[in-house]
Amino acid sequence: MLNTVLKTLNKYHAKRVLVAVSGGVDSMVLLDIISKIFPTADFGVVNVDHDLRVGSADEVEFLRDFCKTNSYQFFTTKWTTKPKEDIGMEAAGREFRYQYFSEVMKENNFDTLLTAHHSNDLAENILMKMIRSGNVYEVVSLKQQRNFSDGQLVRPLLDFSKQQIKDYAKIHEIEHVQDETNFENITMRNRLRNNIFPELQTENGQLLSHFRLFDRQLNALIDMSVEKFQIVEQNMQIEFRDESIKGSLDPIRSMDSEQQMLFWGSFFTRKLDISVSNRQIEQVITIITGNNSSAEVDLEDNWRFIRSYNNFLIKKVKHTDSISIELELGKPTIFNNRQIKLSRVDALDATFSTRKLPQKIVLRNRIIGDKLLIDDGRHQKLSKRFINEKIPEYQRNEIPILLFDNQVVWVEKIYKISDYLKKGNYFFKIDMDEVKR
């Protein structure tokens, strides 16, 4: 076991390692192996007390005493910002845990985080992902190595089973704590671990090695497909901005639906790092291949996929409230992160003109029923003008609209009342500047 771990660490050029240790048998075995490979100055032990079980504080003290006795560097913290509801507790705990790991790595110049995941964990993870989503990119999410923080995360025990780790602990008399909740069937993982996998292993004792082989082969196929997809992405002219990604849809139209399933599954996983269900990917493909030139699909974590004609936009949704601001001439105001000022000017500098001075000036976003005056007594719906001008749906609530005495006189880029009526004698200019956040 030691030689295999050493070979793995050499493969990934691990120099200074931080070992994530809970006190359980898996992580204590990993710590024992690491202590035989590295001098104490080149590795540390990191632990998080999630404070979710009776006895978790005792486990931290066990680990603290163990590290003190052996002169190991020890880092620990307690999770005190837990969500009030149980829903999402596991994900929140994981986020806190890995954020702390990252901080310790940066502050102490560790280049590699080591975790004690083994082949049983890998098999359980694959089966859980198959049950929950079936997304091929999530199924292989437990990789031996991946980038993490300013360095990497390596799982050097993936080729060993839980039983092999227990055998090592017994032979080398390694102290460890026992999490009794592992025997309670309160989570899917525990039900698979305690009930399903023992039955499957009676069918074939090579089950775990088959899962490991499946994982390696699938990762190799995914790596090959991603290389092809990256060529496609270059042709899509993708642009990344603050909380948004946009590009052209034309290069993927030659793909069939199954190929697009693979493409978008890869894209969302690599570019957004969010879990997108097969149903959501199917909805994305439906709007891409459909006849509606403007359509949307809500994704996870407030992300939204938007088709606008032959282009797409993926953006973090910020729910736009109704905005209505009464303006004063010459006085700037903030509207959707832009500073806007309306001033009276000479005809040569004017944005638009009117026949009379307004009593009330209002700047707002659109509302249902907005109409544009295009002739004396004739109007056009603003919604139709948006369609004619090919303004994407996601932009329409953010466009400023100026009203004089409840009459729309200007809509950014697409309407000025003086283009349709006889030019008036009162001239106005609109200045707009982005507000830095």
> Which comes out higher in pLDDT, residue 15 or 184?
15
Phi, psi of 325 (to 5 degrees): -125, 130
The pLDDT value recorded for residue 37 is: 96
pLDDT confidence of residue 401: 96
pLDDT score recorded for residue 44: 96
Measured CA to CA, the distance from residue 363 to residue 410 in angstroms comes to: 10
Q: How many residues does the chain have?
A: 437
- Give the least confident one: 153-162, 296-305, 317-326: 317-326
Mean pLDDT highest for which of 167-171, 193-197, 300-304? 167-171
> How far are the Cα atoms of 11, 136, 219, 255, 263 from residue 222, in angstroms, in the given order?
21, 9, 5, 17, 10
327-372 pLDDT, tens digit each: 999 999 988 878 999 999 999 999 999 999 999 999 999 998 899 9
| pLDDT at res. 6 | 96
Integer Cα distance of 107 and 22 in angstroms: 21
Highest mean pLDDT among 32-36, 337-341, 423-427: 32-36
- pLDDT exceeds 70 at position 184: no
Range picked from 112-116, 136-140, 174-178, 221-225 for highest mean pLDDT? 112-116
Q: Is 60 exceeded by the pLDDT of residue 219? A: yes
Confidence of residue 185 (pLDDT cuts 50, 70, 90): low
Q: Of 253, 270, 261, which Cα lies nearest the Cα of 311?
A: 253
The reported pLDDT for the residue numbered 55 is 74
CB-count exposure of residue 144 (10 Å: 0-12, 13-18, 19+): buried
Highest mean pLDDT among 34-38, 177-181, 271-275, 283-287: 34-38
Instruction: Calculate mean pLDDT across residues 388-406.
Output: 87
Rg for the chain, CA atoms, rounded: 30
Mean pLDDT of 253-271: 88
pTM of the model: 0.64
The pLDDT tens digits for 76-101 are: 998 877 776 655 667 777 888 999 99
For residue 24, pLDDT beyond 60: yes
Per-residue model confidence as pLDDT tens digits over 133-166: 777 877 776 889 999 999 999 999 999 999 999 9
Over residues 399-417, the mean pLDDT reads: 94
Which token pair is 169?
């602990």
User: Tokens at residue 348, please?
Assistant: 């040569």
Q: What average pLDDT is seen over the chain?
A: 88
Q: Is the pLDDT of residue 186 over 70?
A: no
